[in-house]
Chains A and B, each alone.
Chain A
Amino acid sequence: MRMILRIAGCALLGLPWAVSAAERPQGELRLRHEVAGASRQGPLALVEALQPGAADTGRERWALEAGLRWVGHQGPLALGIDALAAWQAQDGRLRGRGASRLNELHLGLDAGAWQLSLGRKVVSWDVGHGFRPNDMVQQEQRRTLDGARPQGRPLVLVEHFDAERALSLAWVNPRHRDDGPDRAADGREAALAARAYWRRGELDLHLFARRGERTGASLGGALAAVASDSLAVHASLRIAARHERWAPDAPASGPGDLSNPWWRRRHGRALQGLVGLAWTGSQQQSLIVEAWHDGSALPDSTWTAWNARNLALAAAASPRPADAQAGLLAWQASWQTAPLDAPTLRRDNLYLRLSWQPGAWTLAADRLVTPADRGHVSTLSAQWQGDRWRLTLAGRQLGGPSRAVLAQLPSRRRMLATAEWSW
């Protein structure tokens, strides 16, 4: 089957695809320099303290990236490609092309109101900025510092459009089988997803449904509306019958326990919701405010237990233990980083973003706050946009009280500088 698909793919690539003047190949060359400052709090800081050099915190990174986007047409067929080639060096060592990837490669059939897509494609449906629970095909990383393009999912997508309505049905990751909770957590499980859209004057209405192989059914809805000349509001809600997330063995094991307490497990119902507004001023300034609840994130009680275990490990490590015990403690502390690998850490979040566009410049400041533990992430960025060049300088700082989860992430601060040339 795989061989047949490859042969079919080569045959398609061999067709004399016509490229319209408006859809010429486009892309960019980007030079990126990133410096990260390791946190002095949290489990990875403890690992580093116990065994210096054991934690890969990646202090300095250079990357040269080349992006290419191309769409060719042959009658009603269209072939789309979005690819990224990257060369990276970290802490002075060349890491090769580890980050190269094919973001999209899809074949489309244009039958007027009916549209069919087959292949790897980026599809996102939700209306929020900082959190988008109704992106039921794929959950891309939000609020990234470098604005990297997401990678699409393999899918078969059938859609119908008229001037005011749209109906989409996607079979996502069709070749994947139930082979573990990691796939569900990463959105790589096989799933059927549907979206219905209506435009009602100043209101955009969306309804969503999804059935995942492991996570089962979920339903969602979203709206976006313009409230006044300068104010737009949006909201999103999703209810899932099941969800996958990290969970510790209960009760939380102590420092003497040799086993990894963290596992991805299937849990019951989860509610996710977001409300937000976007205001635009007359001096080209704008403000986005969003608040969201993610019921699929770890509950407060689990984070309390996580903090208690971190404290117990830190207490056992002080005074400085013998080498063998240090290794054991470092091993255990490294397990504590497992739940930090989640798109949302705390269930309740508040996000503010201010931006201003004087001429070719865009200046922005944003802050994500987790009220439960007063953790926060603050970002400042300045971008200059010329005809072909785009220069960006951005900095991000994580902070909060010592028990705040965000303050215990491996990197305390990051600085990013990019120079991008579009063609």
Chain B
Amino acid sequence: MNARIALTRLAAGLLAGALLQVGSARAAPDAQALLAAADRYRVEAADQRVQTRVETRDADGTPQKERLYTVYLQTGRRSLVLMRSPAEAGQKVLMHGDDFWLLMPGSQRALRITPAQKLLGEASVGDIATLSWSEDYRGELRGREDCEGTACLHLSLQATRKAVSYQRIELWIGERRHEPLRAELYVQSDKLAKRARFELAGTPARVQAMVLEDHLGSRRTTRVQYLSREARTVPETWMNPMFLARQPNLD
């Protein structure tokens, strides 16, 4: 009898423990899964082409410049940024994980550049050419917060690679749909470089624009607008800097 009671208590204890585990898992969802869910608002497919417009305004709102880019994002942390505006026409940046090349029109030379060089400009190449947090960052859930009346989750992201544009990102996503709402972007020295907020539109909802406020010096505002996204796998040769140096047709 005593043995039956003991077994019943043990079973009840195990069941309660299991239920507590489930409750705890619900309370603290997997941070990487949340990042992957947030990525889906920016990434259409594993291999994709994104047309992007970048508008920069001075701190007082005066328009400073507008640039157009075509970005090919490919599996294996590879991306190719083609500059389309007249002032930069023909320039390209190729990224292979932590390796970067700059190609200038007419020079026929693929120039190796450092991770710091790709940060140049109000919207760094990394801002345009990297759309996946889950591949490059390890996330940690900080807790639930209120984001201007919307229940949101606060995630702290630490880079898993040295060459990413921002070593730490504080990210806020919607609690219910996990859509990205805003972020704070920190550079290697752990200085706050930019604040970002995300604008969503369309069905299904996608990030249509990312607005970056510079906090390092210029205080400029940069609006990165995603004009179109489509699945597109490019030939392997496009990922060779020497192939790009010969100024091939990339359309």
By a beta-carbon cutoff of 8 Å, the part of chain A in contact with chain B is 20-23, 26, 69, 71, 73, 78, 80, 82, 108, 110, 112-113, 115, 117, 122-127, 149-150, 159, 161-166, 168, 197, 199, 201-202, 204, 224-226, 228-232, 234, 278, 280-284, 286, 357-360, 385-388, 390, 422-423
16 A-B residue pairs with Cβ-Cβ distance under 8 Å, sorted by A, are A26-B86, A73-B249, A115-B248, A150-B106, A161-B242, A168-B242, A201-B99, A202-B98, A224-B111, A226-B114, A230-B116, A286-B117, A357-B121, A387-B86, A387-B87, A422-B87
Neighbouring A residues of B116 by C-beta, 8 Å: 229-230, 280-282
The answer to whether B87 and A390 have CB atoms under 8 Å apart is: yes
Interchain CA distance A286-B113 in the complex, whole Å? 11
Q: Which of B16-24, B27-35, B178-186, B233-241 lies at the binding interface?
A: B233-241
B229 at interface by CB-CB < 8 Å: no
* Contact flag A359-B64 (CB < 8 Å), given A161-B243, A162-B240, A284-B120: yes
B177 at interface by CB-CB < 8 Å: no
**Minimum distance in angstroms from A278 CB to a CB of chain B:** 7
The answer to whether A163 and B189 have CB atoms under 8 Å apart is: no
Neighbouring B residues of A78 by C-beta, 8 Å: 248-249
The answer to whether A387 and B82 have CB atoms under 8 Å apart is: no
Neighbouring A residues of B111 by C-beta, 8 Å: 224
Main secondary structure of the interface of B (DSSP, over half): loop
Interchain CA distance A258-B117 in the complex, whole Å? 57
* Contact flag A71-B64 (CB < 8 Å), given A388-B86, A388-B87: no
The answer to whether A386 and B86 have CB atoms under 8 Å apart is: no
The answer to whether B247 and A229 have CB atoms under 8 Å apart is: no
Contact with A along B66-109 (1 / 0, CB 8 A): 10001000000000001011110110000010111000011111
Contact with A along B213-251 (1 / 0, CB 8 A): 000011010000000000000011101111100111111
Given pairs A20-B249, A283-B217, 10 additional interface contacts (CB within 8 A): A22-B249, A71-B249, A115-B246, A161-B240, A163-B240, A202-B99, A282-B116, A282-B189, A360-B64, A388-B86
* Contact flag A110-B109 (CB < 8 Å), given A282-B189, A357-B120, A387-B66: no
**Minimum distance in angstroms from B70 CB to a CB of chain A:** 7
Neighbouring A residues of B192 by C-beta, 8 Å: none
Neighbouring A residues of B99 by C-beta, 8 Å: 199, 201-202, 226
Interchain CA distance A22-B234 in the complex, whole Å? 15
Most chain B beta-carbon neighbours within 10 Å: one of A21, A115, A387: A387
Q: What residue of chain B has the Cβ atom nearest to residue A128's Cβ?
A: B109
Residue among A117, A204, A423 making CB contact with B86, cutoff 8 Å? A423
Neighbouring B residues of A224 by C-beta, 8 Å: 111-112
Neighbouring B residues of A80 by C-beta, 8 Å: 247
* Contact flag A124-B90 (CB < 8 Å), given A162-B237, A226-B114, A282-B187: no
Q: What residue of chain B has the Cβ atom nearest to residue A421's Cβ?
A: B86
B188 at interface by CB-CB < 8 Å: yes
**Minimum distance in angstroms from B170 CB to a CB of chain A:** 20
* Contact flag A387-B188 (CB < 8 Å), given A112-B235, A162-B237, A166-B243: no
Residue among A149, A159, A387 making CB contact with B246, cutoff 8 Å? A159
Interchain CA distance A359-B66 in the complex, whole Å? 13
**Minimum distance in angstroms from A88 CB to a CB of chain B:** 21
The answer to whether A229 and B188 have CB atoms under 8 Å apart is: yes
* Contact flag A232-B236 (CB < 8 Å), given A26-B90, A115-B246, A284-B120: no
Neighbouring B residues of A283 by C-beta, 8 Å: 217
Residue among B85, B220, B235, B251 making CB contact with A22, cutoff 8 Å? B251
B115 at interface by CB-CB < 8 Å: yes
Q: What residue of chain A has the Cβ atom nearest to residue B235's Cβ?
A: A112
B26 at interface by CB-CB < 8 Å: no
Neighbouring B residues of A359 by C-beta, 8 Å: 64, 218, 220
The answer to whether B87 and A386 have CB atoms under 8 Å apart is: yes
**Minimum distance in angstroms from B218 CB to a CB of chain A:** 6
The answer to whether B106 and A199 have CB atoms under 8 Å apart is: no
Interchain CA distance A126-B109 in the complex, whole Å? 7
Interchain CA distance A75-B178 in the complex, whole Å? 45
Interchain CA distance A13-B246 in the complex, whole Å? 21
The answer to whether B241 and A199 have CB atoms under 8 Å apart is: yes
Q: What residue of chain A has the Cβ atom nearest to residue B117's Cβ?
A: A280
Neighbouring B residues of A232 by C-beta, 8 Å: 112-114
B36 at interface by CB-CB < 8 Å: no
Q: What residue of chain A has the Cβ atom nearest to residue B191's Cβ?
A: A282
* Contact flag A112-B237 (CB < 8 Å), given A161-B242, A284-B120, A359-B218: yes
The answer to whether B249 and A110 have CB atoms under 8 Å apart is: yes
Neighbouring B residues of A126 by C-beta, 8 Å: 109
**Minimum distance in angstroms from A192 CB to a CB of chain B:** 18
The answer to whether A124 and B107 have CB atoms under 8 Å apart is: yes
A-B CB proximity, top 3 nearest: A422-B86, A166-B242, A22-B251
The answer to whether A422 and B89 have CB atoms under 8 Å apart is: yes
Residue among A73, A110, A163, A231 making CB contact with B114, cutoff 8 Å? A231
Contact with A along B40-73 (1 / 0, CB 8 A): 0000000000000000000000001110001000
Q: What residue of chain A has the Cβ atom nearest to residue B76's Cβ?
A: A163
Interchain CA distance A142-B243 in the complex, whole Å? 23
Contact with A along B128-154 (1 / 0, CB 8 A): 000000000000000000000000000
Neighbouring B residues of A164 by C-beta, 8 Å: 240
Neighbouring B residues of A20 by C-beta, 8 Å: 249, 251
